[in-house]
């Protein structure tokens, strides 16, 4: 008897609530439904910052899976959430796989949401939705790194679909809305308006406080060895892109923060760049040094 793929799908849930108690950030509520769960809280940089590691116990995501997470940071909490390993999205069985993450960050709180890379197998059909409700005086730093096709095996993303929708709101006002859609086919894979032959795309977003032009230039200086192709200026943002045969990167000054983009071929390259940007933002706005999650070093 052949099993119906719809009945075999996972419907994972994860609900985390953080509170400020006794001068520390504590995970006061943790509800999970397989295959999602979270490890016990870690405090590698003191009691004020709670580190949480998400787990996907099934090992990978298949068509029909529905994963939903809700994170609530109560006032004056500080949390860093990452994943234990790269997420794998397997070839679709004809159904779309979907992950939805809703985040509420109250006044004076800050979330650093830094998942490890997502790997889409050729033929995967995957959509991820991230929505953040940011209170006045709250801040959010998040990134996503996506590898389209198992490029280490020579695989290209020539079939399937990838969608990524991100929305950041503050008191009913949209601070940032970003919708990305990439169908898997040869034309898009090689087009300069698509992947341009590169398998990895990444975005880093900081929102909550304006970023000075000095910090923007500092972030850009990480790539000063390459030639600048274009610079745009307006009252709302400043964008700068740098291209060589290996990668295309962009740095944008937003009205309430900073955006970095990457398109290239190296996970370590984008991760090292994002980590360096993260360190600049941490020291400038959060008054603390970089603290690499220990699961990244395994």
The token pair at 107 is: 């006044």
Share of the chain above pLDDT 90, in %: 79
pTM of the model: 0.90
Identify whether 225 is part of a domain: no
Average pLDDT, the chain: 89
Identify whether 80 is part of a domain: yes
Q: Measuring CA to CA, how many Å separate 38 from each of 35, 83, 114, 192?
A: 10, 9, 14, 39
pLDDT at 243 over 70: no
- At residue 246 the predicted structure's pLDDT band, cuts being 50, 70 and 90, is low
Identify whether 211 is part of a domain: no
Total domains, the chain: 1
Beta carbons within 8 Å of 199's beta carbon, 6+ residues apart: 147, 148, 149, 151, 156, 157, 265
Identify whether 109 is part of a domain: yes
- At residue 298 the predicted structure's pLDDT band, cuts being 50, 70 and 90, is low
Q: What is the mean pLDDT of residues 5-28?
A: 89
Strand partners, 51: 42, 80
Q: Which segment of 47-56, 85-94, 214-223 scores lowest on mean pLDDT?
A: 214-223
- Among candidate residues 108, 106, 51, 103, the one with its CA nearest the CA of residue 74: 106
Identify whether 248 is part of a domain: no
Residues spanned by the domain of 128: 11-201+267-288
pLDDT tens for 178-195 read 999 999 999 999 998 889
- At residue 235 the predicted structure's pLDDT band, cuts being 50, 70 and 90, is very low
Identify whether 222 is part of a domain: no
User: Which SS3 state, helix, strand or coil, does residue 244 take?
Assistant: coil
pLDDT at 232 over 50: no
Identify whether 253 is part of a domain: no
Residue 81 near residue 109, CB atoms below 8 Å: no
pLDDT tens for 111-168 read 999 999 999 999 999 999 999 999 999 999 999 999 999 988 899 999 999 999 999 9
- At residue 9 the predicted structure's pLDDT band, cuts being 50, 70 and 90, is confident
pLDDT at 58 over 80: yes
Q: What is the mean pLDDT of residues 195-219?
A: 94
Predicted local distance difference test score (pLDDT) of residue 220: 86
Name the DSSP class of 84. S
Identify whether 112 is part of a domain: yes
């Amino acid at each position: 008897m052949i099993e119906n793929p719809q009945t075999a799908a996972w419907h994972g849930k994860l609900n985390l609530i953080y509170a400020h108690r006794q001068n520390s950030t504590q995970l006061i509520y943790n509800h999970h439904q397989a295959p999602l769960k979270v490890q016990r809280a870690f405090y590698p940089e003191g009691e004020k910052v709670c580190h949480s590691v998400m787990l996907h116990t099934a090992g990978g995501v298949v068509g029909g899976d529905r994963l939903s997470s809700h994170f609530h940071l109560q006032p004056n909490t500080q949390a860093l959430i990452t994943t234990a390993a790269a997420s794998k999205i397997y070839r679709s069985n004809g159904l779309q796989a979907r992950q939805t993450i809703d985040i509420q960050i109250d006044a004076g709180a800050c979330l650093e949401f830094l998942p490890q890379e997502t790997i889409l197998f050729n033929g995967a059909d995957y959509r991820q939705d991230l929505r953040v409700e940011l209170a006045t005086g709250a801040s959010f730093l998040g990134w996503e790194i996506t590898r389209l096709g198992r490029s280490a095996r020579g695989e290209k993303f020539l079939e399937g679909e990838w969608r990524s929708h991100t929305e950041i709101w503050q008191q009913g006002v949209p601070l940032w809305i970003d919708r990305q859609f990439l169908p898997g086919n040869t034309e898009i894979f090689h087009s300069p308006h698509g992947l341009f032959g590169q398998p990895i795309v990444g975005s880093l977003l900081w929102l909550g406080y304006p970023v000075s032009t000095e910090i923007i230039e500092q972030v850009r200086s990480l790539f000063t060895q390459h030639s600048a192709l274009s610079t745009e200026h307006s009252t709302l943002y400043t964008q700068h892109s740098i291209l060589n045969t290996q990668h295309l990167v962009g740095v944008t000054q937003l009205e309430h923060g900073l955006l970095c983009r990457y398109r290239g071929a190296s996970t370590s390259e984008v991760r090292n760049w994002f980590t360096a940007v993260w360190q600049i933002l941490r020291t400038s706005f959060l008054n603390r040094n970089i603290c690499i999650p220990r699961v990244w070093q395994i």
